[in-house]
Structure formats: structure tokens, C-alpha cells
Amino acid sequence: KWGAPTEFLDPPTGVTYRVLPRPGRCVIMDQDVSHTVVAPNDKAGLRPRYSLVWKLILHPRGVGQDMTDIACGRGDVWPESVFIGSA
């Protein structure tokens, strides 16, 4: 209701995807994905829009660890991933 989506550009198609903020929502993405944030609309009043960014670096705990499993074998506790664009 307050707007303020994060917009993602899919370069091959030129399509823009909008993800609205929701309580508990977390967007995990590659830092090189073309994106921008949009200011809240008038319904937000004087409420600001905050973004929190962490730069995550995954380090293996042991030799030969599969670094593609970011859920560390606990995929059942993570929500289903949503892929957008031509990914």
C-alpha cells in the first residue's frame, strides 16, 4: 500500500520486475543484477524507506565442501526460491 518496490531489470528482455516490501521478506541476489529502489508513495506519509545490505562471502568449512548448497542441507526450512527474468 505504500509502494517502495525494488525493481530488477532483465537485460536480455528489457522487462522490469518489481518486488514490493513485506514483513519478513528477504531478497537474496547477486550484486551484479541491475536493480534500483523506489521511494515510498504519498500513502506512506513521512515514513522512510530503509534498505539493509550485507555482502555475503561463502567460505567452505572443509576441503571439497559443496558450496552450491547455501542452505547447508536444511533446504526444508528455507522457502522455495522464486526466479525472475531469463535466469
pLDDT digits (tens, 9 = 90+) for 35-85: 998 888 898 888 877 888 887 777 777 888 777 766 666 666 666 777 777
Longest dimension (CA), the chain: 53
Of the pLDDT bands very low, low, confident and very high (cuts 50, 70, 90), residue 12 is confident
Counts for the chain of helices (H) and strands (E), in that order: 0, 3
For the question of whether the overall pTM of this predicted structure is more than 0.85, the answer is no
In whole angstroms, what is the distance from residue 16 CA to residue 9 CA? 5
| Per-residue pLDDT, 17 | 93
